[in-house]
Structure 1
Amino acid sequence: MRVDIGNALREVATPGVAVDALDRLDAEVATAHETIAAGMANAEFGYASLNLPETTSPTGIRAAVADVDAEAVLTVGIGGSALGARTVTAALGESNHYVLDNVDPERTRRLLARLDLEKTAVNVVSRSGTTAETLANFLVVREAYESAGVDWTDRTVVTTGDAGPLARLADNRDLPRLAVPEGVPGRFAALSAVGLVPAALLGHDIEAVLAGAREAREGLTGSLHESPAYAYGAVTTALERRGAHINAVMPYAESLEPFAEWFAQLWAESLGKDGQGQTPARALGATDQHSQLQLYRAGRHDKVVTLIRARERADRSIPSTDVEGLAYLGDATLGDLLDAEFEATEASLAAADKPSVRIEIERIDEQGLGDLLFSCEAACVLAGELMGVETFTQPAVEWGKSAARGLLGAADTEEAAAVRDKRTYPIE
Structure 2
Amino acid sequence: MTVCEDKEGPIALSSDQVQAGGLTVTLRGPVRDAAENALQQLRASRVASRLAAKDATLWGPAAEPEASIRLGWVDLPQESRALLPQISEIAQAKREAGLDRVVLAGMGGSSLAPEVIAASRDARLITLDTTDPHQVRRVVTTDLDRTVVVVASKSGSTVETDSHRRAFEQAFADAGIDPAERIVVVTDPGSPLAELAGERGYPTVLANPHVGGRYSALSAFGLVPSALVGVDIEALLDEAAALAATLADDTNPALLLGAALGGFSGRDKVVLAGATPVGLGDWIEQLVAESTGKDGTGLLPVVVESASAPGFTPGPDTHLVVYGETEPEVPETADTVVTGPLGAQFLAWEYATAVAGHLLGINPFDQPNVQESKDNTKALLELSNNGTLPTGTPLLTDGAVEVYASDGTGVGDAKNLASVLRALIEQIPDDGYLAVMAYLDRDAEGDGQAAALRSELAALTARPVTFGWGPRFLHSTGQYHKGGPANGVFLQITGDITEDLPIAGKPYTFSRLQLAQALGDFNALAERSRPTVRLHWRDRSAGLAELIRALGEIRP
Question: Under TM normalisation by the shorter chain, which class is it?
Answer: 0.7 to 0.9
CA distance in structure 2 between the partners assigned to 1:202 and 1:132 by the alignment: 25
- AA aligned to 2:274 is P
The residue type paired with residue 335 of structure 2 is S
| Preserved contact between residue 29 and residue 234 of structure 1 (Cα < 8 Å) | no
1:247 equivalenced with 2:263 (yes/no): no
Greater relative CO (CA pairs within 8 A, separation 6+): 1
Paired residues for 1:210-359 under 5 Å: 210-223=237-250, 226-239=251-264, 241=265, 243-253=266-276, 256-285=277-306, 289-293=308-312, 295-296=313-314, 300-311=315-326, 342-343=329-330, 345=331, 347=332, 349=333, 356-359=335-338
Q: Contact 2:23–2:243 (CA<8 Å) still a contact in 1?
A: no
Closer, same or farther: CA 397–216 of 1 in aligned 2, 3 Å:
same
> Per the alignment, do residues 31 and 370 of structure 1 end up closer, same or farther by CA in structure 2, a change over 3 Å counting?
closer
Residue in structure 1 matched with residue 436 of structure 2 by the alignment? none
Matches of 1:76 and 1:229, distance apart in 2:
31
Residues 159 and 177 in structure 1, CA contact (< 8 A), matched pair in contact too: yes
What does residue 333 of structure 1 align with? none
Alpha-carbon distance change, 109 to 44 in structure 1, aligned in 2, over 3 angstroms:
same
The TM-score normalised by the length of structure 1 is 0.77
For each residue in 1:174-211, what CA deviation from the matched residue of structure 2 results, as whole angstroms up to 9, or x when unmatched?
11011121111111111011111112112221111111
Give the 3 Å change call, closer, same or farther, for CA 257–427 of structure 1 in structure 2.
closer
State the number of aligned residues.
363
Matches within 5 A, 1:62-81: 62-69=88-95, 70-81=99-110
The answer for unaligned runs of 5 or more in structure 1 is 313-338, 350-354, 362-367, 411-415
Q: 2:129 aligns to what?
A: 101
| 1:22/1:160 CA distance change after superposition, 3 Å | closer
Aligned residue type for 2:365: F
Q: Is the 8 A contact 1:234 1:383 kept in 2?
A: yes
Cα 1:390/1:201, change in 2 over 3 Å = same
Tell me how far apart the structure 1 counterparts of residues 379 and 40 of structure 2 sit (CA, whole Å). Answer: 48
1:92 to 116, 121, 137: 121
Counterpart contact for 2:186–2:207, Cα < 8 Å: yes
More strand by share: 2
Aligned to 1:406: 379
Does 1:24 pair with 2:40? yes
* 1:232-259 CA distance string (max 9 Å, x none): 01112112x2x11100111133xx3421
Q: What is the CA–CA distance in structure 1 between the aligned matches of 2:45 and 2:281, rounded to whole Å?
A: 25
CA contact (8 A) 2:35 2:256 kept: no
Equivalent residue, structure 1, for 2:87: 61
Instruction: Give yes or no for contact 1:65–1:157 (8 Å, CA) kept in 2.
Output: no
1:87–1:258 Cα contact (<8 Å) kept: yes
Give CA deviations for 1:292-313 in whole Å, capped at 9, x if unaligned: 43x23xxx3211111012337x
Evaluate the alpha carbon distance shift between residue 40 and residue 106 of structure 1 in structure 2; reply closer, same or farther with a 3 A threshold. same
* AA of the residue aligned to 1:387: L
The amino acid across from 1:27 in the alignment is: R
| Cα distance, 1:245–1:209 mapped onto 2, change above 3 Å | same
2:326 maps to a residue whose letter is R
Pick aligned residue for 1:157 from 184, 198, 211: 184
Structure 1 letter corresponding to 2:86: G
Structure 2: gaps spanning 5 or more residues: 1-21, 58-63, 384-519, 537-556
Q: Which amino acid aligns with 1:49?
A: W
- The residue that corresponds to 1:336 in the other structure is none
Alpha-carbon deviation of 1:213?
Answer: 1.1
AA paired with 2:85?
T
In 2, Cα distance between equivalents of 1:19 and 1:87? 28
Q: Is the 8 A contact 1:53 1:210 kept in 2?
A: yes
Amino acid at match of 1:281: V
Question: Aligned to 1:211, what secondary structure does the other structure show?
Answer: helix
Identity of aligned residues (%): 28
Question: Residue 172 in 1 paired to residue 199 in 2?
Answer: yes
Residue aligned with 2:321, SS: strand
User: 1:167 & 1:6 partners in 2: Cα distance?
Assistant: 45
Task: Output the CA distance in 1 between the equivalents of 2:188 and 2:379.
Answer: 23
Equivalent-residue separation in structure 2 for 1:121 and 1:163 (angstroms): 24
Equivalent AA in structure 2 for residue 291 of structure 1: P
Tell me if the contact between 2:263 and 2:356 (Cα under 8 Å) persists in the aligned partners.
no
Supply the distance in 2 between the matched residues of 1:89 and 1:384 (Cα, whole angstroms).
29
| Higher helix content, 1 or 2 | 1
1:3 and 1:357 in contact (8 A); partners too = no
Confirm or deny: 8 A CA contact 2:184 2:204 kept in the other structure: yes
Q: Distance in 2 between matches of 1:184 and 1:27?
A: 26
Give the alignment partner of residue 39 of structure 1, picking from 55, 68, 87: 55
Match of residue 365 from structure 1? none
Q: Secondary structure at the match of 1:99?
A: strand
Deviation at 1:419, TM superposition (A): 5.2
Q: Distance in 1 between matches of 2:32 and 2:91?
A: 49
Q: CA RMSD in A?
A: 3.1
Alpha-carbon distance between aligned partners in 1 of 2:245 and 2:178, rounded to the nearest angstrom: 45
Give me the whole-angstrom Cα distance separating, in 2, the residues matched to 1:373 and 1:401: 27
Q: For the residues of structure 1 that align with 2:179 and 2:296, how far apart are their CA atoms?
A: 46
Are the equivalent residues in 1 in contact too, given 2:48–2:255 (CA < 8 A)? no
